[in-house]
Amino acid sequence: MDIKKKIKWGILILFIIALTILYKFYNPATNIYFPKCPFRELTGFKCPGCGSQRAIHYLLNFEIYEAIKENALLVLSIPYLLTGFIFDLIKNPNVELLKWRKIFFGEKPIYIILIIIVAFWILRNTTYCQQYI
Protein backbone atom coordinates (compact mmCIF):
# COMPACT_ATOMS: atom_id res chain seq x y z
CA MET A 1 0.00 0.00 0.00
CA ASP A 2 1.47 3.37 -0.94
CA ILE A 3 1.80 6.21 1.53
CA LYS A 4 -1.05 8.29 0.08
CA LYS A 5 -3.47 5.41 0.49
CA LYS A 6 -2.29 4.85 4.07
CA ILE A 7 -2.93 8.49 4.97
CA LYS A 8 -6.37 8.30 3.37
CA TRP A 9 -7.28 5.21 5.41
CA GLY A 10 -5.79 6.73 8.57
CA ILE A 11 -7.92 9.87 8.23
CA LEU A 12 -11.01 7.79 7.53
CA ILE A 13 -10.45 5.61 10.62
CA LEU A 14 -9.83 8.65 12.86
CA PHE A 15 -12.98 10.24 11.43
CA ILE A 16 -15.04 7.12 12.23
CA ILE A 17 -13.63 6.94 15.78
CA ALA A 18 -14.47 10.63 16.33
CA LEU A 19 -18.02 10.11 15.03
CA THR A 20 -18.44 7.02 17.23
CA ILE A 21 -17.50 8.98 20.36
CA LEU A 22 -19.70 11.90 19.31
CA TYR A 23 -22.75 9.72 18.64
CA LYS A 24 -22.28 7.63 21.77
CA PHE A 25 -22.28 10.56 24.19
CA TYR A 26 -24.64 13.00 22.47
CA ASN A 27 -28.23 12.17 21.53
CA PRO A 28 -29.14 13.72 18.17
CA ALA A 29 -32.77 13.84 19.31
CA THR A 30 -32.05 16.42 22.02
CA ASN A 31 -29.04 18.22 20.58
CA ILE A 32 -29.49 21.00 18.04
CA TYR A 33 -26.02 20.70 16.49
CA PHE A 34 -26.81 17.50 14.58
CA PRO A 35 -28.04 18.01 11.00
CA LYS A 36 -31.71 17.44 10.27
CA CYS A 37 -33.05 15.61 7.22
CA PRO A 38 -33.61 18.20 4.45
CA PHE A 39 -36.27 16.01 2.82
CA ARG A 40 -38.29 15.90 6.02
CA GLU A 41 -37.84 19.64 6.68
CA LEU A 42 -39.12 20.43 3.18
CA THR A 43 -41.90 17.87 2.69
CA GLY A 44 -42.85 16.71 6.16
CA PHE A 45 -42.40 13.10 5.03
CA LYS A 46 -39.73 10.78 6.38
CA CYS A 47 -37.02 9.48 4.04
CA PRO A 48 -35.55 5.96 4.39
CA GLY A 49 -32.62 7.46 6.30
CA CYS A 50 -34.61 9.47 8.85
CA GLY A 51 -33.77 8.47 12.39
CA SER A 52 -30.44 6.88 11.46
CA GLN A 53 -28.42 9.30 13.62
CA ARG A 54 -30.63 8.57 16.62
CA ALA A 55 -30.52 4.84 15.82
CA ILE A 56 -26.69 4.95 15.84
CA HIS A 57 -26.76 6.74 19.20
CA TYR A 58 -28.98 4.05 20.72
CA LEU A 59 -26.97 1.22 19.12
CA LEU A 60 -23.73 2.57 20.59
CA ASN A 61 -25.44 2.52 23.99
CA PHE A 62 -26.77 -1.03 23.40
CA GLU A 63 -30.42 0.04 23.36
CA ILE A 64 -31.35 -2.15 20.42
CA TYR A 65 -35.12 -1.77 20.75
CA GLU A 66 -34.94 2.03 20.79
CA ALA A 67 -32.62 1.90 17.77
CA ILE A 68 -35.05 -0.29 15.80
CA LYS A 69 -37.87 2.11 16.59
CA GLU A 70 -35.86 5.01 15.17
CA ASN A 71 -34.75 3.29 11.95
CA ALA A 72 -35.38 -0.43 11.54
CA LEU A 73 -33.83 -0.52 8.07
CA LEU A 74 -30.49 0.69 9.41
CA VAL A 75 -30.36 -1.76 12.30
CA LEU A 76 -31.42 -4.75 10.20
CA SER A 77 -29.01 -3.92 7.38
CA ILE A 78 -25.92 -3.93 9.62
CA PRO A 79 -25.22 -7.71 9.45
CA TYR A 80 -25.78 -7.64 5.69
CA LEU A 81 -23.48 -4.65 5.19
CA LEU A 82 -20.76 -6.21 7.37
CA THR A 83 -20.92 -9.42 5.31
CA GLY A 84 -20.72 -7.38 2.11
CA PHE A 85 -17.72 -5.48 3.47
CA ILE A 86 -15.91 -8.74 4.25
CA PHE A 87 -16.67 -10.12 0.76
CA ASP A 88 -15.19 -6.91 -0.69
CA LEU A 89 -11.99 -7.42 1.29
CA ILE A 90 -11.35 -10.97 0.05
CA LYS A 91 -8.94 -10.51 -2.88
CA ASN A 92 -9.05 -13.89 -4.60
CA PRO A 93 -12.19 -15.74 -3.54
CA ASN A 94 -12.64 -19.38 -4.63
CA VAL A 95 -15.57 -20.60 -6.72
CA GLU A 96 -17.61 -21.54 -3.66
CA LEU A 97 -17.27 -18.07 -2.12
CA LEU A 98 -18.07 -16.43 -5.45
CA LYS A 99 -21.25 -18.51 -5.64
CA TRP A 100 -22.36 -17.21 -2.24
CA ARG A 101 -21.33 -13.73 -3.18
CA LYS A 102 -23.58 -13.92 -6.23
CA ILE A 103 -26.50 -15.27 -4.17
CA PHE A 104 -26.37 -12.43 -1.62
CA PHE A 105 -24.78 -9.55 -3.51
CA GLY A 106 -25.51 -10.32 -7.18
CA GLU A 107 -27.84 -8.53 -9.55
CA LYS A 108 -31.15 -9.91 -8.25
CA PRO A 109 -30.43 -9.29 -4.55
CA ILE A 110 -29.56 -5.70 -5.45
CA TYR A 111 -32.98 -5.25 -7.04
CA ILE A 112 -34.55 -6.70 -3.90
CA ILE A 113 -32.60 -4.15 -1.81
CA LEU A 114 -33.94 -1.32 -3.97
CA ILE A 115 -37.48 -2.64 -3.51
CA ILE A 116 -36.99 -2.93 0.27
CA ILE A 117 -35.70 0.65 0.50
CA VAL A 118 -38.63 2.05 -1.50
CA ALA A 119 -41.16 -0.10 0.40
CA PHE A 120 -39.71 1.03 3.74
CA TRP A 121 -39.88 4.63 2.53
CA ILE A 122 -43.57 4.36 1.62
CA LEU A 123 -44.64 2.29 4.64
CA ARG A 124 -43.05 4.54 7.27
CA ASN A 125 -45.11 7.44 5.94
CA THR A 126 -48.46 5.63 6.12
CA THR A 127 -50.62 6.35 9.14
CA TYR A 128 -50.76 2.68 10.06
CA CYS A 129 -47.00 2.07 10.20
CA GLN A 130 -45.88 5.52 11.33
CA GLN A 131 -45.82 4.66 15.02
CA TYR A 132 -43.68 1.52 14.50
CA ILE A 133 -41.00 2.45 11.97
Partner 1 sequence: MKKYFYTDGTDKFGPFTLEELKEKNISRETQVWFQELGKWKPAGNVPELSEIFELSPPPIAKTNLINNNKENINNRKPPKTWLVESILVTIFCCLPFGIAGIVNASKVESRFYAGDIDEANRASQEAYKWTKIAFWIGIAVAVIYLIITIIGVVSGY
Using CB under 8 A as the binding rule, whether residue 38 contacts partner 1 is answered as yes
Cα separations in angstroms, 98 against 51, 86, 102, 103, 106? 34, 13, 6, 9, 10
For residue 90, the tally of other CB atoms under 10 A from its CB is 11
- Using alpha carbons, select from 15, 25, 18 the residue that is nearest to residue 57: 25
Using CB under 8 A as the binding rule, whether residue 113 contacts partner 1 is answered as yes
Residue whose CB is less far from partner 1, 7 or 81: 81
Residue 2 identity (one-letter amino acid): D
- Using alpha carbons, select from 44, 52, 99 the residue that is nearest to residue 78: 52
The one among 32, 42, 65, 131 contacting partner 1 by CB under 8 A: 32
Using CB under 8 A as the binding rule, whether residue 73 contacts partner 1 is answered as yes
Using CB under 8 A as the binding rule, whether residue 103 contacts partner 1 is answered as no
CB of 85 to partner 1, least distance (A): 5
What are residue 26's phi and psi, to 5 degrees?
Answer: -120, 130
Q: Residues interacting with partner 1, by CB under 8 A?
A: 32-33, 35-36, 38-39, 47-49, 52, 71, 73-74, 77, 81, 84-85, 88, 90-93, 95, 98-99, 101-102, 105-107, 110-111, 113-114, 117
